[in-house]
Amino acid sequence: MDFNKAAQQHAEMENFFSGGFAAKDPQIARKKIERDKRAEQAKNELEKLNQEVNSCRKCELGGQRTNDVPGEGHPAARIMFIGEAPGADEDAQGRPFVGRAGKLLDKIIAAMGLKREDVFIGNILKCRPPENRDPKAEEVFSCLPYLQRQIEIIQPDIIVALGAHAARTLLENTKSIGQLRGHIHEYYPGLGRPAIRLLATYHPAYLLRSYTHENRLRVWEDMKKVLAELDLPVPE
């Protein structure tokens, strides 16, 4: 069977089982087939990386954590949500975004018509800074290569940087979240590799602290941009 025909059939099947939500475009369906093929190998590579993180003591946080929090989700996700660092709930469970801010992120993902397991969720730091203090420059320097490798393995179509720390670190600038959010930027994964789109938005923890209609609307507008960038429909 030729590849385009297979992609078309796949699109029709997905459309049938999802009640019309899935992409009808054969190009998108073909990319999905390619991602599904890549996912198994990516899963193995991420598991190896998780083991490295698990034994990592490159910075002082390694000796202070309860659990490392390498991140989780689809190994070939189209969207990566990246925050700053694990908090108390994440440290206790070894999973990213599982506290109150995580529950809000789950709601945002659901509002996008997606499930948590469709995306990848992680942080710049893989261990919790005590008392949730800001990450130190040397901690970011030590830990960032793990995230860079995750991005290399997952090959997302877009990165959503949650909050100023994640956005500044990935974009290598010092602008405020007010200046950065709502725009599509480019993240450069390294020499010879294509840039990846990056959208910065408010961290869910900030949104919880400033739970105004205006801020929620801004985040929703940001997520609609992400969906538009990925040619995905905005749920009614």
- Tokens 């969720």 locate to 121
Q: Please, are residues 56 and 50 in contact by the beta-carbon 8 Å criterion?
A: no
**Cα 158–chain centre separation:** 8
Question: Using the rule CB under 6 A, which residue among 29, 61, 108, 219 binds ligand SF4?
Answer: 61
CA nearest neighbour of 36 among 8, 66, 76: 76
> Does 91 sit near ligand SF4 (CB under 6 A)?
no
> Does 224 sit near ligand SF4 (CB under 6 A)?
no
> Does 126 sit near ligand SF4 (CB under 6 A)?
yes
> Does 143 sit near ligand SF4 (CB under 6 A)?
yes
* 65-84 binders of ligand SF4 (CB under 6 A): 68
> Does 139 sit near ligand SF4 (CB under 6 A)?
yes
CA–CA gap between residue 177 and residue 30 (Å, rounded): 36
Alpha helical stretches, state H, the chain: 3-17, 26-54, 88-93, 100-111, 137-154, 164-171, 177-180, 204-209, 213-229
Question: Using the rule CB under 6 A, which residue among 125, 159, 160, 162 binds ligand SF4?
Answer: 125
Which residue's CB atom is positioned nearest to ligand SF4? 62
> Does 53 sit near ligand SF4 (CB under 6 A)?
yes
Of 61 and 153, which CB lies nearer to ligand SF4 in the complex structure? 61
Shortest gap between Cβ of 40 and ligand SF4 (angstroms)? 25
Q: Which stretch binds ligand SF4 (CB under 6 A): 11-19, 93-101, 138-146, 176-184?
A: 138-146
Of 67 and 215, which CB lies nearer to ligand SF4 in the complex structure? 67
* 181-200 binders of ligand SF4 (CB under 6 A): none
Q: Which residues contact 30 (CB under 8 A, 6 or more apart)?
A: 3, 4, 7, 10
CA nearest neighbour of 132 among 85, 67, 82, 98: 85
Q: Please, are residues 90 and 96 in contact by the beta-carbon 8 Å criterion?
A: yes
Please give the residue ranges that form the binding site for ligand SF4 (CB under 6 A): 53, 56-59, 61-62, 68, 125-127, 139, 142-143
